[in-house]
Structure 1
Amino acid sequence: MTVSHTPEFHIKEVDGRTLRVARWQPRRGSGSNRPLLFFNGIGANIELMAPLPELLDDREVITFDMPGVGESPDPLVPYRPWMIARIAERIISDFGHDKVDVMGVSWGGGMAQQFAWQYGRRTGQLVLAATSAGMLMVPGKLAALSKMADPRRYTDPDFMLKHFRTLYGGNTNGAGGHASRISPPSTLGYLGQLIAMIGWTSVPFLPLISAPTLILMGDDDQIVPLANGKILKTLIPDARLEIIKGGGHLFLVNQADETMALIRNFLGAGPPLRAVA
């Protein structure tokens, strides 16, 4: 099966919210691998994760811009993680999928944990990268967190490149490409994502997650320190923790070959499980 590996874009109305959804079809193989549902980091538009489907081109990949991010309109009312999980569940149903593998990075890792618990029957395998259990987490370094709060990291590529190492840790490979793909979220969009996580933690339900889980953490992450991955591994039954040596918060970007090899090996191939019409 050979197809162009640019995504199909869809505008979907789900639970009263308008969202831009991207769907990459498999570019090689039989298309029998289970689809991957991806949750992006805070303020991150679809284009920022576009390299990932290029490296997982033997399976369908689905993601969407959060309200007020990328080309999804601003949130009209606040939302919580369980609402985002329900939206994602309805999107995969609309595409005809019964069961998907789930991956989340940073802020999106919280959404992935929520989905895997809320819709355990519909979750095959779970990949959590550079993330934590929410409110009950080991905080990052103040210098990195202060730069995270500065809107110039979205609007000024030079600022992003200058402070890339302070912001994210690790090396700066791929920093230029990352900065060029950023589309700044709206103020309401960014605040909406922050507000969604106030008081939220996955600690009570992590022991109930039954999906095989891979946790990926960088040992030089300035925003979500490695200790958070160890907490996740302790609480999720039989979870596997892989540490990216020298990896900062964006090890998926600047150590992509090593990271994606681990993800591909973990996901393997799964049957095409589709919803019954």
Structure 2
Amino acid sequence: MLTHVAAHNEKADCMGDPMNSATVSLEEVGGRTLRVAHWRLDEPSDHPPILFFNGIGANIEAVAPLAEAMPERGFIIFDMPGVGESPEPVLPYNPFTMCWTAAQLLDSLGNEEVDVMGVSWGGAMAQHFALQHGGRTRKLVLAATTPGMLMVPGKWSALSKMVDPRRYVDPNYMNEHFATLYGGMTRDTKATARRDHIGRIKPPSPRGYLYQLIAMLGWTSAPALPFLKKDTLVMMGGDDRIVVPANGKILAGLIPNAKLVEFEDGGHLFLLTHSEEAVAEIRAFLDEGEALPEAA
């Protein structure tokens, strides 16, 4: 059950901010209060909306450019408890309970079937949602993610900084270690993407970040993935230091109907640094097999 707490359209200080076109609200969903954002759900579309699960510690604003880049589709995302502007979590959660909460949110928004997408930590959550709520999942897009505990570890220099929430709290720390953390930032054109990403970050609370870390302890999708019959796009960055590309090969090998795409010089944030290429791949994959609209 969802209870409406507060709603508003957030307006950024500058023109062109993708959050300007989002409907943002605080909602009571399954006993949790979550900050929810959605785009274009009230507009006619030939496509189901995308339900997006974000990376660990990342807030809605970090993914807003992707939502804006796909104007033909609805887009739904929420801040995890204690992340962004969602209130502190009272109790820990796990993939089952949070995917159930996401399904409750879809009910409240009137969306029966969605395309499910997740990046990094959220990619694991997206896998779980597709397995737990297969009847509501049309297609699955996994970006820079793993099958959980049965993963090929990333570089220690990146992982040691990833678990430190200071990367979200201290912009100077994030800027200094950005290349070590995320990779794929060697071209000059990536400097703008880095500045924009850092500017969109809102630090999670210590408890919110901790609960995200422990939510996936012991979790793996590997035994269930051979039974996942959804068409799946797996996208990886060839220069990802956190989730090395070998994990994409594991996912694509386990999921029967999977396609693997690797951005050779992309890092962990290739959805931002290689946005045009990534969006083109996502759009082509989601459009494939859809019925064409009838001619007038």
Question: 1:203-214 counterparts in 2 under 5 A?
Answer: 203-214=222-233
Match of 1:200 in 2: 219
Match of 2:118 in 1: 104
In structure 1, C-alpha distance between the alignment counterparts of 2:135 and 2:252, rounded to whole Å: 21
Question: 1:163-202 counterparts in 2 under 5 A?
Answer: 163-171=177-185, 173=190, 174-202=193-221
**Counterpart among 29, 40, 43 of residue 14 in structure 1:** 29
Q: Which moved more, 1:223-232 or 1:165-174?
A: 165-174
CA-CA distance at 1:10 after TM superposition: 2.1
Match of 2:133 in 1: 119
CA-CA distance at 1:150 after TM superposition: 2.7
**Aligned 8 A contact 2:183 2:268 in 1:** yes
Task: Return the TM-score normalized by structure 1.
Answer: 0.93
Larger RCO of the pair (alpha carbons < 8 Å, separation 6+): 1
Match of 1:140 in 2: 154
Match of 2:12 in 1: none
- Residue 154 (str. 1) matches residue 168 (str. 2): yes
In structure 2, C-alpha distance between the alignment counterparts of 1:108 and 1:118, rounded to whole Å: 15
Q: Which amino acid aligns with 2:245?
A: L
In structure 1, C-alpha distance between the alignment counterparts of 2:41 and 2:29, rounded to whole Å: 25
**Aligned 8 A contact 1:131 1:229 in 2:** yes
Task: Return the TM-score normalized by structure 2.
Answer: 0.87
Task: Report the RMSD for the aligned CA atoms in angstroms.
Answer: 1.6
In structure 2, C-alpha distance between the alignment counterparts of 1:27 and 1:64, rounded to whole Å: 18
CA-CA distance at 1:14 after TM superposition: 1.8
CA-CA distance at 1:158 after TM superposition: 2.0
Match of 1:66 in 2: 80
Unaligned runs of 5+ in 2: 1-18, 292-296
Match of 1:253 in 2: 272
CA-CA distance at 1:237 after TM superposition: 0.7
Would you say how many aligned residue pairs link Structure 1 and Structure 2? 267
**Aligned 8 A contact 2:158 2:241 in 1:** yes
Match of 1:93 in 2: 107
**Counterpart among 221, 234, 251 of residue 232 in structure 1:** 251
CA-CA distance at 1:152 after TM superposition: 2.4
Q: Which moved more, 1:153-162 or 1:51-60?
A: 153-162
- Residue 50 (str. 1) matches residue 69 (str. 2): no
- Residue 216 (str. 1) matches residue 223 (str. 2): no
CA-CA distance at 1:205 after TM superposition: 1.0
In structure 1, C-alpha distance between the alignment counterparts of 2:98 and 2:154, rounded to whole Å: 25
- Residue 263 (str. 1) matches residue 263 (str. 2): no
Percent identity, aligned pairs only, is: 56
Q: Which moved more, 1:176-185 or 1:84-93?
A: 84-93
CA-CA distance at 1:132 after TM superposition: 0.1
CA-CA distance at 1:203 after TM superposition: 0.8
CA-CA distance at 1:5 after TM superposition: 5.8
CA-CA distance at 1:119 after TM superposition: 0.6
Unaligned runs of 5+ in 1: 272-277
Q: Which amino acid aligns with 2:30?
A: D
**Aligned 8 A contact 2:165 2:209 in 1:** no
**Aligned 8 A contact 2:55 2:120 in 1:** yes
In structure 2, C-alpha distance between the alignment counterparts of 1:88 and 1:59, rounded to whole Å: 19
Match of 2:261 in 1: 242
Match of 1:77 in 2: 91
In structure 2, C-alpha distance between the alignment counterparts of 1:65 and 1:246, rounded to whole Å: 29
**Aligned 8 A contact 1:26 1:57 in 2:** no
**Aligned 8 A contact 1:8 1:24 in 2:** yes
